[in-house]
Structure 1
Amino acid sequence: MNKINLPKVTIVTPSYNQAEFLEETILSVLNQTYPNIEYIVVDGGSTDGSVDIIKKYEDRLAWWVSEPDNGQSDAINKGFAHATGEIYNWLNSDDILYAETVSIAVHFMQKYPNYELVYGDRVVIDNKGRIVDVFEPVAVSRRMARFALRIPQETTFFTSRIWHKVGGLNESLHFVMDSDLWYRFLDETRFFHIPVFMGAYRNHEESKSVYGLGKEKSDKAMEEIYYLRKNYSSLLSRISLLRKMVRYFNLVRQAYEKNRRTRRLIKEEVKNEIYK
């Protein structure tokens, strides 16, 4: 690839006391096949050796800092305040991107410029990197999004334009800030689903999905879930029985979409254009 003719992609990693996983996360960005990446790491003042890991790679970072912040949303906003790329992505310090991910995202964003957000499928791994689950989301529609809007955050890429248009992340949110952002993006653009695995989400004892959004949801997490429902759901989507029906309907949609010719052609395009 010719770096001069390719859009710059800015990736921000927010980090706090995740030294166990941080180096693998950093290397998953630095080892991307895409040549025009601006990488920023924002650490919240870690005391577990994270800063030593960051310093190990600081000559390959566009900018980094380690200082107290007001949480993950604040750290991500701080990182993108230093960004100069045309396309954005953030990668949490315990997740990873696959080597061709940025190339795949840019390919489809250039091919379909009317879509200012693209997202891929996700593998779920444990603290040892073992695959424990997968997430292959359905295509996003505005109507169905009023019931639920779930896309894999680490595989999601979007233009800097819509990020600045909506004002970035809501820093008062700590558990659902990504969903809140997707809803605001949906008012600005359509979402394009790339049906290939592009990254891995790490599910472990310290991850938010476990301690905040697990079976015993924290009070703060529940407060933020109600915030999403109040601001983005329809009256019908607030009926629990209908939400349950929609979940089953999405399983049917998922099975249908997996067998569509369009999805097979996209997979073939990735294979021929990216992995050639």
Structure 2
Amino acid sequence: MKKISIVTATYNAASHLESLILSIGAQKTDEVEFIIIDGGSTDGTIDIIKRHNVYVDYWISERDKGIYDAWNKGIAVAKGQWIMFLGADDSLLPDALSNFLKFLSSENSSSYDYISAHNHFVNSEGVVLKLLGKGAEWKLMRRMNSAAHVGSLHNKQTLFETVGYYNLEYKICADYELLLRKGPNLRSYFLPKVIAKMEVGGMSFSLKAIKETYRIRKQHKTVPTLFNLFLFFRDYMGYTLFKLRKPI
């Protein structure tokens, strides 16, 4: 049985995909499978997948309803106990898989629903702008998605097969909404290592994401209404100030 299934959704991602595939291929083992769900690309993405098919265990290319629809397709075919999601413009840092596999070999790892770590948030030149990820404890998650989702591990049996797949109503933050379904009963672990980098410009860091996060907190009633409004304006101001910062 595979331990980790890496799922990547692509659509016209030729400018980034090769870098991601190579970052995975450099550390892939027999315990890891790599799945690519493409939305019908026409820019050379498929040629890149075929060129590096030695690293890709399964792929399809067909129209879908967005990234979460593609991820749901990936979950359905995944053979691993744990599922990791990486965007085409993300990169897996060296030793990321070995660090996860080492932890997963421990006796109590299967008791967790979700395992996360740090991400580097970088600009187009690779300059680190921010360190992301604080773990998924309820005291944090009820207010915001405190976990860095890129490269985190989801237990297929105790998470997806228990609470269901991603809700396509949400276009940006469905990963947050899914974790909230378990509420304070989510069994999470934080690995204090940087395992991936994500590039600025994605929708997960946007005003639309802030609005969706507000809606998700409201749906699951994780905080009182007035406090939810306070968090919305806090996040809005934080986003605005971050956009004005100079790279570190």
TM (norm. structure 1) is 0.75
182-191 vs 9-18, greater mean Cα deviation: 182-191
Deviation at 1:181, TM superposition (A): 1.8
Cα deviation 1:142-176 (Å, max 9, x = unaligned): 13322122211113112111122111211221111
Correspondence 1:135 to 2:131: yes
Correspondence 1:237 to 2:233: no
Mapped to 2, the partners of 1:132 and 1:51 lie a distance apart of: 30
Correspondence 1:105 to 2:100: yes
Amino acid at match of 1:229: R
Rate the CA distance shift 1:158–1:123 in 2: closer, same or farther, 3 A.
same
Which residue in 2 is equivalent to 1:62? 57
Q: Secondary structure at the match of 2:77?
A: coil
152-161 vs 98-107, greater mean Cα deviation: 98-107
Selected match of 2:154 from 153, 158, 166: 158
Selected match of 1:149 from 142, 145, 148: 145
Mapped to 2, the partners of 1:137 and 1:152 lie a distance apart of: 4
Mapped to 2, the partners of 1:49 and 1:34 lie a distance apart of: 27
Rg (Cα) greater in structure:
1
Q: CA RMSD in A?
A: 2.6
Which residue in 1 is equivalent to 2:81? 86
Amino acid at match of 1:63: Y
Rate the CA distance shift 1:188–1:108 in 2: closer, same or farther, 3 A.
farther
Mapped to 2, the partners of 1:241 and 1:230 lie a distance apart of: 11
Which residue in 2 is equivalent to 1:258? none
Q: Which has the higher helix share?
A: 1
Rate the CA distance shift 1:100–1:33 in 2: closer, same or farther, 3 A.
farther
Which residue in 2 is equivalent to 1:255? none
40-49 vs 101-110, greater mean Cα deviation: 101-110
Selected match of 2:191 from 189, 194, 199: 194
Unaligned 5+ segments in structure 1 are: 1-5, 249-276
Q: Secondary structure at the match of 1:153?
A: strand
Rate the CA distance shift 1:229–1:116 in 2: closer, same or farther, 3 A.
closer
46-55 vs 133-142, greater mean Cα deviation: 133-142
Asked whether the 8 Å contact 2:143–2:231 carries over to 1, the reply is no
86-95 vs 110-119, greater mean Cα deviation: 110-119
Asked whether the 8 Å contact 2:123–2:129 carries over to 1, the reply is no
Asked whether the 8 Å contact 2:119–2:198 carries over to 1, the reply is yes
Amino acid at match of 2:136: V
Asked whether the 8 Å contact 2:10–2:88 carries over to 1, the reply is yes
Which residue in 2 is equivalent to 1:121? 118
Correspondence 1:227 to 2:215: yes
| Aligned residue pairs, count | 232
Deviation at 1:8, TM superposition (A): 2.3
Mapped to 2, the partners of 1:44 and 1:78 lie a distance apart of: 11
TM (norm. structure 2) is 0.83
Deviation at 1:93, TM superposition (A): 0.6
What is the 5 A alignment of 1:177-216?
177-186=174-183, 188-204=185-201, 207-209=202-204, 213-214=205-206
